Structure 1
């Protein structure tokens, strides 16, 4: 499958890309040419030659755990440039040809730890190249056996590309600042359904059997808007679809579809709220897929197909702030993307702020304030651990390519930065500014300097206001500026009083607990004394039914507290939790707590990890390997 692509004659600097309003502006996004936009995590030299479109034709081999086929790349280059450099991490390259099928010279360079190896193609005057290749043991891909799925009958595959993992299965320029359109034709066993982060192009087509001789189907997808390449995503398995609204729906395994759909019934309300706040949703559909529990994140904002962990399903919509977060990424992160990973707060911090506004509009101010207070507590905890002036606590950091998940700086400090600005200038002015930021930078990369400059130009009204806002300090300096707009202390007044009562005299109010929101319960558990004896832990569990809790955020906090106190009664459930859940947010801290408990905890950690490691995605494996002092393979 090959779609027509008409490319304008242009150079590569941002000033030469078609202006907003030109139809071709949606096809070829600018590459920033400023020093702060240089991505040190890519081998590419996009100001010389760059990829503007990727056309994949791949087969999924579940037996060999391998993808193979071709990637056809459309390129643009400056006059006289005859080579293009791609990112590649472990790909097996069979051949490289031009648009007429003629072989092109290529070279795989020396491997660099954490980056892979450059793939340099001498394309001459060719602007279309086809790479025949295969990818085995790709870090972005997790292949699950039937036994690792809810159905137990069919295998499963899903990808996770952020930050720089997609180069392990797609040969392209794997940098968030080099946006690309893409299309794909994917063949898979006929029993399986394939979804991707692009719009499906009609019904699947029956095709001849693969090497195993079994019948197969081909699925086609297209993303006609330029996106950061880490947002190309795929999932395949025994999955079914449930419509949620006129432009939204959810996929999952059949055993989970009812619970998933019930938890997501507010999706259309969230889309409406987001559009009312910051403008139209520009991606067509907003579908989601609830993946098996080994998915390493809470969610991943892949365009038109958000990937979600099943751990957000609590039965009462108490954790659907996660859905609001991933939806908000359709503006901050997908529409306007950090050009380099050192500016990851432009994705996550802006999105976390936006998420809270959606929650306020759909679920009310009280819930939004409580969830904001939890975020603020994350900042305080992090700064207490690493130091208020630690260099890594600035929003803008040196680009390292490391994951942002769980970062109280990129997510929470970034959110409170915008929350503080909103409070200082007023919501009406702030919302008008943020909306124009999305509109004027749609489908383009951005940097911290750009958003600061934009604030100074389009938001700040006087030098005195600029001084009061402390914009540069928020973005480029460590720690938390003293003008931070703190959450209302009343948000958790009752809960904090209850936690203090327990700390002082071990008093528990079971009726109050039963009536609390999930945010309140999480706050209470986080505020409990860190040192408790077995009798006190048993009383807590019995009174609050913690071991039977269906809310994974609350259950995690209980198990972490229990392991920190070497509570033997909770060890079997902790081991079961670690065997069933692959979300790094839960798995990494639990192993960290166990490892810190000396011989007792390390014995449990080693025993459990020996059983669970192979069931985790490479993202979670890498995180736990560091905790355990183990070298990742």
Structure 2
């Protein structure tokens, strides 16, 4: 995707501002025994400016380059010394070229063509023993054979409804198919929005269809992030803020407006935790952080998601929902198949509403600098708490359990959705004083949290137990950390287990570190302050 930004992307060493990739042909073989990918990549490049370009500089990281050519002829090339955290630039002279790399072996060949331009971070390859099943007229579920039936049941009821509802908010889905690939448990994210095939964690296959809202988020990425992409990692909120906004508009369209705010309440709690973790004045809590010389993975948190959502909801309230609804398809049409910066978004918004004096006045009153560059929490919105009040009420009874007559029973949460349990447990985690070992154990036994197949619930309950120093959850927490690699659960649980029993936390990490994705492993090493293996 060609850059539209004038600001230099500080997280690349490439000369992307001189050359644009018009097509990429990728031919890879998978070596399962050695856990390697090998092959060749052919890039079609075009100069952006009239100024002659004498070299190509590409980003690489721990990549073994054997041969490089230009126009099928030899050329001069060199992998330059590594510079953390950006990697090792590959410098290629455009004055010579080499022959194509030879291919050998009798392997199966799979091919595909993607006609919509995408940024490089969205290119992904999955290989293994994969089975597939239909979950809708334009959707397929793919996963390991033993998980296929459970995954099919989990997603077949809602996926097409999500697509159609999102089309009514934005416009027609552009990618022809929307498919899901359920990955092994080491996958570090809830989902990854790779075009055509969303990659999702197996923790979404919980047997209760309570985690399919991941589809709402990743499907929304088909417009925000995939079709319209942030120009730099500093503008990452344009991807995730817009996606979270569309996700919650989708929930409101399907289930009612209170569900939008209920999801936002959960998101606000996550935002508060991220700001607390970084610190109120930390650079990474800004909507547009300065990531110069930083690894963008270190800046990853809920801040761009939830602060971005809060800002877009605020803009919606300023201009009015009916008018804002007209801007949504305009935005995704204007910047389709392009990347953009935050300043371009601001300029386009003003341009769109230029003939509307009332909307223009409201936009001029927005403190853009404050929203873009101030660290910490934004002003807290007023939420519709109708779906959350029952959760808060039950939490309040648990907080006073020692001073009043309260006999917990399974009926307390009868008929609750999993997200209501999540809000309840979030409230318990926020108690000024921990629940206490005996009461924490009683809660888990009464409400069946120990036996829940929904990781959103068990992980939060284990957090309550760890804070209460309830030893009954220590080993189950360690077991969960060996079964799941999703960072949303892994990082908080390691921090909580470390505070309760550092020896067990370190032993658990040592046992499972090779199971985790490299990004997850690196961040947990920092969280636990352990020396990284070289």
Q: TM-score, normalised by structure 2?
A: 0.92
Aligned residue in 2 for 1:110: 81
| Contact kept in structure 2, 1:299 and 1:326, CA below 8 Å | yes
Whole-Å separation in 1 of the counterparts to 2:457 and 2:178: 28
> Number of residues paired by the alignment?
518
Q: Alignment partner of 1:374: what SS?
A: helix
Aligned residue in 1 for 2:419: 519
Q: Alignment partner of 2:42: what SS?
A: strand
Assess, with a 3 A threshold, how the Cα gap between structure 1 residues 612 and 387 changes in structure 2: closer, same or farther: closer
2:507 matches 1:594: no
Task: State which drifts further: 358-367 or 438-447.
Answer: 358-367
Task: State which drifts further: 545-554 or 455-464.
Answer: 455-464
2:456 matches 1:553: yes
Q: Alignment partner of 1:235: what SS?
A: coil
| Contact kept in structure 2, 1:621 and 1:632, CA below 8 Å | no
Give unmatched runs, 5+ long, in structure 1.
1-28, 134-186, 188-207
Aligned residue in 1 for 2:216: 324
Aligned residue in 2 for 1:434: 328
Whole-Å separation in 1 of the counterparts to 2:278 and 2:65: 44
| Contact kept in structure 2, 1:546 and 1:558, CA below 8 Å | yes
**Cα deviation, residue 632, structure 1:** 4.8
Whole-Å separation in 1 of the counterparts to 2:91 and 2:345: 34
Aligned residue in 1 for 2:142: 251
Which residue of the other structure, out of 371, 383, 405, is the alignment partner of 1:474?
Answer: 371
| Contact kept in structure 2, 1:341 and 1:401, CA below 8 Å | no
Aligned residue in 2 for 1:43: 13
Aligned residue in 1 for 2:123: 232
Which residue of the other structure, out of 245, 251, 262, is the alignment partner of 1:370?
Answer: 262
Alignment of 1:355-434 (within 5 A): 355-384=247-276, 386-399=278-291, 400-403=294-297, 407-434=301-328
More strand by share: 1
| Contact kept in structure 2, 1:406 and 1:585, CA below 8 Å | no
Whole-Å separation in 1 of the counterparts to 2:174 and 2:455: 33
CA RMSD of aligned residues (A): 2.2
Which residue of the other structure, out of 376, 386, 403, is the alignment partner of 1:490?
Answer: 386
**Cα deviation, residue 486, structure 1:** 2.4
2:59 matches 1:90: no
Aligned residue in 1 for 2:468: 565
Whole-Å separation in 2 of the counterparts to 1:387 and 1:89: 30
Q: Alignment partner of 2:37: what SS?
A: strand
Give unmatched runs, 5+ long, in structure 2.
none
Whole-Å separation in 2 of the counterparts to 1:563 and 1:33: 46
List per-residue Cα deviations over 1:558-614 (Å, max 9, x = no partner). 1122222332222221121111100011111111112223xxx11111111111111
**Cα deviation, residue 479, structure 1:** 3.5
| Contact kept in structure 2, 1:356 and 1:368, CA below 8 Å | yes
Q: TM-score, normalised by structure 1?
A: 0.78
Aligned residue in 2 for 1:349: 241
Alignment of 1:53-132 (within 5 A): 53-77=23-47, 78-99=50-71, 101-124=72-95, 132=101
Whole-Å separation in 2 of the counterparts to 1:382 and 1:91: 33
| Contact kept in structure 1, 2:3 and 2:340, CA below 8 Å | no
**Cα deviation, residue 406, structure 1:** 6.4
Whole-Å separation in 1 of the counterparts to 2:284 and 2:63: 33
Assess, with a 3 A threshold, how the Cα gap between structure 1 residues 406 and 42 changes in structure 2: closer, same or farther: closer
Whole-Å separation in 2 of the counterparts to 1:406 and 1:372: 19
Assess, with a 3 A threshold, how the Cα gap between structure 1 residues 332 and 548 changes in structure 2: closer, same or farther: same
Assess, with a 3 A threshold, how the Cα gap between structure 1 residues 538 and 453 changes in structure 2: closer, same or farther: same
Assess, with a 3 A threshold, how the Cα gap between structure 1 residues 494 and 404 changes in structure 2: closer, same or farther: farther
